[in-house]
Structure 1
Amino acid sequence: MSLLLDSPVSQRPVSRRHGAGFWAVGAAFLVAMAYSTVPAPLFPLYVAREGFSTFAITVVFAAFAVGVVISLVLAGHVSDRVGRKTVLLPALGLEVVSALLFLTSTSLPVLVLARVANGLGVGMIAATATAFLHDLHARHRPGASPRRFEIVSTAANLGGLGVGALVAGLLAQHVSSPLTTPYVVLAVLLVASIVAVALTPETVARQPLAYRPQRIRANHGFTTAAGAFSAFAVFGVFTSVSPGFVAGELHHPSRTLAGLVVFTVFGSAALAQTVTGGLSLTALRRLGLGGQGIGVVLVVAGMYAANFPLFLAGGAIAGVGAGVQFKAAIGAVTKAAVPEKRGEALAGLFFVAYLGMSVPSVSIGLATRFLAPTTVMTWFAGLLLVLLAALAVARRSTPGPA
């Protein structure tokens, strides 16, 4: 059987290989995203060893987001023409390269380079794996509801981010080499993922590629793009600076707790996406707005009170809101895009989302050089509430589906 099929829109008989490939790509997606948050609970250890400032840590985090954005612009959309595996396999290879760089040194330049490589890989993986899962689901279950695809793709994306931080935090707490063991474990899983994806049938026929960078258009609609931006702004803050807040303002230096915070945010997001399959797009967006707003208020309150349970509860609620907000955005773009442009459309959405992950986090890291972290987070919460209010007003004034 040829691995090259004519196009994602064609219908073929049900294939067990496509069913197995669906789960293989889902697992690879989860592992790649899990690797992306491995450094999060380890950042305080880098601070202790190398004397990095909070701003230096956010620079390392920003390097990841910059890599993602560059990759989305240059390569996030090309799988529509050259094939999903042609993009996904090298992207997973970049993640392995990143892990090897982390294992060589703890100096700031190497950490920045490792995170750039990590981001370049994720930028290619995020849109490509999502589109690949959609294709495989359609081939395996022609005419079936897309709910399985939606649950698996969003859970692998956000659930993976949470799992990576938790695993890294647990390993860092209980192994003798906390800055190497987590990377070794994930590197092995990434290599296994490469093998699994290589055995998965391709779903896109290779076509001549008149290459151009990704065109960033505002054709997702303001509410979809801004919703993705706000969701990833929440995720970015918890991935980059929250472990430092837990160790500093909340006086809990445990690496396990730092990983638990990140896991709770992303785990809540993934769980919320799973259990809200029957909700309408409007209901998802309302839940997303309310969850993010209430959550960030509780997070700030927890920091003022130095109350870890309150901080964690706020993170969980904010994660629920951000998760369903992003689920609504993914669903809207996937349904609106024509099959031969699906990878490109998703790349554009992820571009906006990762801007939301990077810009607020770097701004917070820079602001903590001059202001108390609690004050900075108060400003972040206020600005996020303004954005959420603008989204709510825009949706009320837009007739019909946004």
Structure 2
Amino acid sequence: MVRARKGEQHAWLAVALSMFAVAWGGNEFTPLLVLYKQHGSFSNLFIDAMLITYAIGVGAGLLAAGPMSDRYGRRALMLPTPLVAVAASTCIAYGEDAATLMAIGRFLSGLAVGMAMTAGGSWLKELSTPRFDPTAKPSSGAKRASMALTAGFGLGAGVAGVLAQWGPIPGQLAYALHILLTIALYPLIIKVPETRQSAHLNIKGSWLNDIAVPTARDRRFLTVAVPLAPWVFGCGFTAYAILPTLMRDSVTYPIAFTALLCVVTLGVGFLIQQPGPTIVGDGGRRGPLLAMTVTIIGMALAALVPLNHSITLTLIACVFLGLSYGLCVFTGLSEVQRIAPPNDLAGLMGLFYCCTYVGMIFPAILTKLDGTFTYPQMLGFGAAVATLILLALIKTAKKQTA
């Protein structure tokens, strides 16, 4: 039995700050897409492929780090994660004109984010229990994890965009700042206690068996958490990858404008998670239905943007897409943490996050189909799909997890 020592009630904050720093580095690339395309060292195809490289890294981190942290402990996987993020930013900063370094950096950046989401998120959840933090509520783990990641994604993109638009050495300065931030916060997690009680026991079976994650077959996970998941980054990347492209010729500072949309979207996503436990409740229909309702509104508003190129409408659309991001990720994590036992927690969390990153392919699909369909048609179709999911959730989300 692990017992809390004096001062450990705040240990969760150290893990949250490390997750925040890793997420900061993971999303710096988004507002710099415009910069790289203007720079001309790489083709547009290569730059867009870096989003896929990042997603592959995230998937590797999610699928490997989750089961490994369930088996070997949270510390063993989370302690090296910020160092992987530092290596990623170093490679990207030096790789502004070097394709190999850029690709390695983007993969490592995704890998670090995946490790932070699973090992870090599980560690944070377990530190957010009365055994370590007497003030913690059942929903505290999900809330703290989702807010740490959201804040990092939002501020990282916002600062990177501002520095790239108006600062010196635009291809390196943002990454240098991230490296300093991560190194400054790293000592805080070194003394955080292990929370995985079975991590030091003689665990039978192979690590490959752990990947199976038995609770992935849970009915509520499949019918509630999984349908919500793609809209997390589906709405996020609609807001700060698709809409800036549609508005590029209508704004004076496209890099800064992209950063602004990132901050608005993820800032709203962060704020809505503050009352998240009250909104979501104890696992009924309210959270899932509200999440999909704002998703429908956000996608419908996004479909109107290419028709009039209004900055005001774009910002309003990002507000609703940000609400969708925040509610979908918080509701999904809450479902996962109610469903999974300790020996499955990180693995199931990894599977949920893998499903969220399916949404990253939305921009690529829309770009590929551009010319066959218009953006209003494609984004309107997204609103229609969200409506169908809402109707399905009315039935599947009715009963609470036993």
Compared with structure 1, are the counterparts of its residues 272 and 395 closer, same or farther at alpha carbon in structure 2 (3 Å cutoff)? same
**Whole-angstrom CA distance in 2 between matches of 1:54 and 1:289:** 33
CA deviations over 1:298-317 (Å, ceiling 9, x no partner): 12212221111111110111
Q: How many residues align?
A: 386
Calculate percent identity across the aligned residue pairs.
Answer: 21
Name which of structure 1's ranges 198-207 and 90-99 shifts more when overlaid on structure 2.
198-207
Conserved? CA contact 2:296–2:384, under 8 Å:
no
Task: Note the C-alpha offset of 1:354.
Answer: 1.4
The two structures, once aligned, show a CA RMSD in angstroms of 2.3
Conserved? CA contact 1:92–1:190, under 8 Å:
yes
Query: Is it true that 1:221 corresponds to 2:222 in the alignment?
Result: yes
In structure 2, the partner of 1:271 is 271
Counterpart residue type for residue 277 of structure 1: P
Structure 1 length-normalised TM? 0.89
In structure 2, the partner of 1:21 is 11
In structure 2, the partner of 1:231 is 232
Task: Note the C-alpha offset of 1:85.
Answer: 1.4
**Whole-angstrom CA distance in 1 between matches of 2:106 and 2:246:** 21
In structure 2, the partner of 1:67 is 57
Counterpart residue type for residue 99 of structure 1: S
CA deviations over 1:277-307 (Å, ceiling 9, x no partner): 2123422222211111111221221222111
CA deviations over 1:171-228 (Å, ceiling 9, x no partner): 1223111110000000111222332221212212334463117337443122210101
**Whole-angstrom CA distance in 1 between matches of 2:88 and 2:363:** 21
**Whole-angstrom CA distance in 1 between matches of 2:323 and 2:127:** 28
Task: Note the C-alpha offset of 1:242.
Answer: 4.1
CA deviations over 1:54-103 (Å, ceiling 9, x no partner): 54332111111111112222222211121111101222221111111112
Compared with structure 1, are the counterparts of its residues 141 and 320 closer, same or farther at alpha carbon in structure 2 (3 Å cutoff)? same
Q: 2:161 aligns with which of 140, 147, 169?
A: 169
**Whole-angstrom CA distance in 1 between matches of 2:278 and 2:42:** 46
**Whole-angstrom CA distance in 1 between matches of 2:10 and 2:134:** 15
Counterpart residue type for residue 364 of structure 2: V
Counterpart residue type for residue 207 of structure 2: Y
Task: Note the C-alpha offset of 1:22.
Answer: 0.9
Q: Structure 2: 5+ residue runs without aligned partners? A: none
Query: Is it true that 1:284 corresponds to 2:287 in the alignment?
Result: yes
Name which of structure 1's ranges 125-134 and 16-25 shifts more when overlaid on structure 2.
16-25
Conserved? CA contact 2:66–2:346, under 8 Å:
yes
**Whole-angstrom CA distance in 2 between matches of 1:306 and 1:239:** 15
Counterpart residue type for residue 150 of structure 1: A
In structure 2, the partner of 1:84 is 74
1:177-196 pair list within 5 angstroms: 177-196=169-188
In structure 2, the partner of 1:383 is 381
In structure 2, the partner of 1:320 is 323
**Whole-angstrom CA distance in 1 between matches of 2:247 and 2:103:** 23
Conserved? CA contact 2:303–2:377, under 8 Å:
no
CA deviations over 1:253-282 (Å, ceiling 9, x no partner): 342221110111111111111123212342
Query: Is it true that 1:401 corresponds to 2:391 in the alignment?
Result: no
In structure 2, the partner of 1:152 is 144
Q: Structure 1: 5+ residue runs without aligned partners? A: 1-5
Query: Is it true that 1:116 corresponds to 2:107 in the alignment?
Result: yes
SS in 1 for 2:278: coil
CA deviations over 1:338-388 (Å, ceiling 9, x no partner): 12221111111111111222x2232234334x568xx2x334423322332
Counterpart residue type for residue 69 of structure 2: S
In structure 2, the partner of 1:211 is 207
